[in-house]
Homo-oligomer: A and B are copies of this chain.
Amino acid sequence: PGISTLIAKGVYDAAFPLHDVSVSHEVLFEEWAKYSAFYKYQPIDLVRKYFGEKIGLYFAWLGVYTQLLIPASIVGIIVFGYGVATVDTNIPSLEMCDERLNFTMCPLCDGACDYWHLSTACGTARASHLFDNPATVFFAIFMSLWAVLFLEQWKRRQISLSFSWDLTGIEEDEEHPRPKYETILLEKRQRKRQQKKKKKKKKNELTWKDRLPGYFMNISSILFMFGLTFSAVFGVIVYRITISALMAMSPDPETKSNVRVTVTATAVIINLVVILILDEIYGAVALWLTELEIPKTETNFEERLILKAFLLKFMNAYAPIFYVAFFKGRFAGRPGSYVYVFNDYRMEECAPGGCLIELCIQLSIIMLGKQLIQNNIFEIGIPKLKKLIHALKEKETTQKEKDEERPPKQWNLDYALAPFEGLTPEYMEMIIQFGFVSLFVASFPLAPLFALLNNVIEIRLDARKFVTELRRPVTARAKDIGIWYNILSGMGKLSVIINAFVISFTSDFVPRLVYQYMYSQTGTMHGFIDHTLSFFNVSNFKPGTAPHSSDQGDITVCRYKDYREPPWSSDAYQFSKQYWSVLSARLAFVILFQNLVMFLSLMVAWVIPDVPKTIVEQLKREKKLLVDLFLQEEKEKFQLIQSLFVKPNSQSPTAGQFWTSLCPESLGSRLLGNNRFAGGVDF
């Protein structure tokens, strides 16, 4: 029972290495943790020396990621710039804004809403073009390859680091079981002993039977959490539907005109708040669930915790975005046959400019909001607050002791700091951000830029936290970033298919191509808007759903965005041939995009060698030296034996010096797999 067991049992309160308030701490603060050092490379070797390999690797990884965000941001800005530059020459948005074309659209709600002109949605059409243009397709391909490149680059960096930090030989040693595991095992053994020793084999392990309740609890809780996330998303949808219906019924014209903006903005903010709250809850739940599973070792514990926390937080952060990208507006029905929820409220549709602009708004607000609030409140605000409270408390108690006038001891100072709680939250934050940068990047090319700006601050923020606000962590060795690499690589793979679907189904890229090359009479985009709008005969409105009063005069036919047969066709309002041909083109695009990008990714991963050339050469040289040394040693041993037998009395003082060359320290430690003690993981 080491000190960790004693802490677990409450015998001790805490155990931590003291901060080394000397040169290295000072240098770290000056060169690394100051905001003014944001443009400098991190002193990774120093970080590793002070905090250990595990934390060193985290900061090295963060550095590589941030560095690679720079080219991605630049390309993203160029793509966005292309959208801005072409917005005035883009025919579809010009057509939407053209008042002469005068498309009369079907009302957006039952009864209370009037027919409206498409040209009033000019703004969103123009905004939509900023993010939905051919350059976006290129950018999506670029970012998928970027993700592969990032992983490859990190592999190389990791290998360089593990070489220069002497990690190449280390392997996971047999770990000690966690105190909790041991306690439960002990209980079980005692229980068994009391059962009159019926069975012979007393296993020294917990079996699946002991863990069954834990597993059961796990699965049901995770399903419950998923349900919670989905209900939160659904709740926000209901909020949006009801509020827009209510506001549309309001007599005030001011209110009416702002419906969409107000509803979208408030709904996204609600989403954001829900995400932030659930994020904290899910973190705690994942911890609790992992404890229930009683993993045997600390590594095991960490891995399970990470997987669970990632799954929950990923769902939480991305569920509303997935909804907007792939489901919103797909189940709204058509005029005369809308889909209703709770019998009264029509399902929501996308904005007239397309769903992509809504996805873009959703994505940017959640991403920025999450980063700003998490950075400012959770990482700066709350620690400051805690410190303040602590300081106030201290004041009372120290008031009495003040008279003694002793300078505070380092352990008292460090005890006042917050305990180090693992790197999981730090990694998690970055991984979720990586998702914003890769998964839906087709809809928001500025995401890498915002991620870059955030990370430049984040590095210094984390550094400052580690140097000044946390107790010095017990150093731990690690030869890689572990399961996070797998998660990153999985997200990279997922991003290919998601971006393919975003481009082909959420954006209007494919319908535009199909129109231009299959239906357009002139081979240009003129007439595209007309082509995408179907006709509806207002006499087919169900009773009570037609507008109560109309300013638009005598309307017989209104338009809506869909590919359906016109009222005068034999199978009126069925999906038209155009619908199916556009759908085919969309699906074909997904196949083409996915396979092209996967092929290019394989190429990129194949072209970049995992081990940098310099390291390969160095390893070769080292190996050669090692072999030479060994041969030398064998030879000298042999000579020594000979000398011992031939002239046993001629020992000279040089023998001592001789032995030193036989067991050079560096050789010994390298051969032994570098198992040197690295900072006392277990006291």
Contact with B along A581-620 (1 / 0, CB 8 A): 1011001101100110000000000000000000000001
Which residues of chain B are near A595, meaning CB under 8 Å? 497
A627 touches B659 (CB 8 A): no
Docked CA distance A362–B595 (Å) = 27
CB within 8 Å of B: which A619-664 residues: 620, 623, 627, 630, 634, 637, 641, 644-645, 648-649, 651, 655-656, 659, 662-663
Are the C-beta atoms of B630 and A671 separated by less than 8 Å? Answer: yes
Tell me the residues in window 215-265 of chain A with beta carbons closer than 8 Å to chain B beta carbons. none
Q: How far is the CA of A332 from the CA of B594 in the complex (A)?
A: 30
Contact of A577 among B580, B620, B673 (CB under 8 A): B580
Residue of B nearest to A631 (CB): B672
By secondary structure, the A interface counts as helix
Chain B residues with Cβ below 8 Å from A651 are: 644-645, 648
With an 8 A cutoff between CB atoms, is A1 at the interface? no
Interface residues of A in 427-484 (CB under 8 A from B): none
Number of interface residues of A (CB under 8 A): 38
How far, in whole Å, are A662 and B675 apart by their CA atoms in the complex?
22
- Given A580-B577, A584-B583, A587-B588, does the pair A663, B644 have CB atoms closer than 8 Å? no
Count this chain's copies in the assembly: 2
The CA of A242 and the CA of B319, in the complex, are separated in Å by: 60
How near does chain B come to A629, taking the closest CB pair, in angstroms?
11
Contact of A668 with B by CB under 8 A: yes
Give the chain B neighbours of A672 by CB distance below 8 A: 627, 630
In the bound complex, residues from chain B placing their C-beta under 8 Å from that of A656 are 641, 645
Residues of B within 8 A of A576 (CB): 577
Residues of B within 8 A of A620 (CB): 174
Question: How long is the Cα–Cα vector from A583 to B577 in the complex, in angstroms?
Answer: 12
What is the distance, in angstroms, from A304's C-beta to the closest C-beta of chain B?
Answer: 15
Q: Measured between alpha carbons, how far is A357 from B673 in the docked complex, in Å?
A: 60
**Chain B residue nearest in CB terms to A673:** B623
Inter-chain contact A591/B587, CB cutoff 8 Å: yes
Looking at A577, A590, A620, A675, which has the most chain B CB atoms within 10 Å of its CB?
Answer: A577
Chain A residues 478-512 with CB under 8 Å of chain B are 497
Which residues of chain A have a CB within 8 Å of any CB of chain B?
171, 174, 497, 575-577, 580-581, 583-584, 587-588, 590-591, 594-595, 620, 623, 627, 630, 634, 637, 641, 644-645, 648-649, 651, 655-656, 659, 662-663, 668, 671-673, 675
Question: What are 30 inter-chain pairs, A to B, with CB distance below 8 A?
Answer: A171-B623, A497-B595, A577-B580, A580-B580, A580-B581, A580-B583, A583-B584, A584-B584, A587-B587, A587-B588, A587-B590, A587-B591, A591-B594, A594-B594, A627-B672, A627-B673, A630-B672, A634-B668, A637-B659, A637-B662, A637-B663, A641-B656, A644-B651, A644-B655, A645-B651, A645-B655, A648-B648, A648-B649, A649-B649, A671-B671
